[in-house]
Amino acid sequence: MTERPGDCTLGEALIYQIARTIEDGILAFHGFGSPLVQLALHLAKRTHAPNLVLVAGATYGVNPAPPFLTPTSNDWAMNRGAECHLSIDELFDLAAAGRLGRMFLSGLQIDRRGNLNVTRLGRERMSLKLPGGGGGGNLSCDARRITLWTAAHRAPPDQSGRRRFRLVERCDFITSLGHGVPGGAQRGRLGHIGQGPDWLITELGVFDFDENGQARLAALYPDVGLDELRASTGFELVARDDLASIPLPTAEMAACIRALDPLRIHERELRPEDRARRFELEA
């Protein structure tokens, strides 16, 4: 997709929503297979979070300056310019000791309490084997805070009229822990270091979590209506009273993303129809 001056793409708006959840001065890790998150970390570091300790997924390079984003994460291009390197055990030790400020997780199923499934569909009988969660199961417990995200919230009906929700009432398997399971152990009782997810960012809206650990719609994209979003959500939607429109990036931020990802790798995470969505840039 070619960019036009004066507007940004859905991908760029999504990257900005994720970047806004990243605090300055923390250590954050982007894992692998998530170009939207990779770019969000680089954008945050180049804008509001210059003291971010950016640990690249797969290479474990610290504060790299990749010449371009590659379609796979464990590539020397992603490692270029890194100040130093961690080993796999070192990164996970940092998390276990409470030093990982924020982690980013996605799944094929995400429930209202922020639990994720990337392991399997089907409870009794496996209907689909998913790739697995990497270190997400550990980091969902150990990282101080979690940003959840998906670029596939929209759930259009299939040929038989059935909607396959990404945001579900209940996950078939819990690969990564959110705020606990109905009828099961709640996060607060498990004594994990991490506080659980505080944001859920999708291509339709941005959710925060209330004091009971339930996802709550906080902002909508300018081209999405509440009814449309409700129809794509597998659990009962609760919206904040002060429901807002998502903040949009500035021209400088969009330019930063375009420079980092000349191959537009991040658009592979978006559905084709979403790649055409455009929003006016913030002045």
- Binding residues for another protein (CB under 8 A): 32-35, 58-61, 67-68, 70-77, 79, 85, 87-89, 92, 95-96, 119-120, 126-142, 173-177, 180-181, 184-185, 187, 190-193, 262-263, 265, 268-269
CB of 224 to another protein, least distance (A): 23
Closest distance to another protein from the beta carbon of 165 (Å): 19
Which residues are CB-contacts of 130 (< 8 A; sequence separation ≥ 6)?
108, 117, 118, 119, 120, 121
Whole-angstrom CA distances from 93 to 134, 137, 139 are 15, 14, 10
Q: How many Å apart are CA 138 and CA 253, to the nearest integer?
A: 32
- Collapsing DSSP to helix, strand or coil, 154 comes out as coil
Nearest CB to another protein, comparing residues 104 and 173: 173
Residue 28 beta carbon to another protein: minimum distance, rounded to whole angstroms: 17
Q: Whose Cβ is closer to another protein: residue 61's or residue 249's?
A: 61
Q: Which is nearer to another protein, 185 or 276 (CB)?
A: 185
For Cα atoms 110, 116, 121, give the angle at the middle one, nearest 5 degrees: 85
* CA separation for the pair 61, 78 (Å, rounded): 8
Closest CB 274 distance from another protein, rounded Å: 14
Minimum CB distance to another protein, residue 129 (Å): 4
Contacts for 274 with CB less than 8 Å, ≥ 6 apart: 10, 151, 154, 203
* Token representation of residue 109: 């199923």
Nearest Cα residue to 235 out of 156, 166, 174: 166
Nearer to another protein (CB atom), residue 58 or residue 251: 58
**Least Å from the CB of residue 275 to another protein:** 14
Helix (H) or strand (E) holding 62: strand 61-62
The least distance separating another protein from the CB of residue 242, rounded to whole angstroms, comes to 31
Nearer to another protein, 139 or 246 (CB): 139
**Gap between the Cα atoms of 183 and 113, Å rounded:** 12
- Report the residue number, 140 or 233, with the smaller CB distance to another protein: 140
Residue placing its CB nearer to another protein in the complex, 21 or 106: 106
Q: How many CB atoms lie within 10 A of CB 123?
A: 11
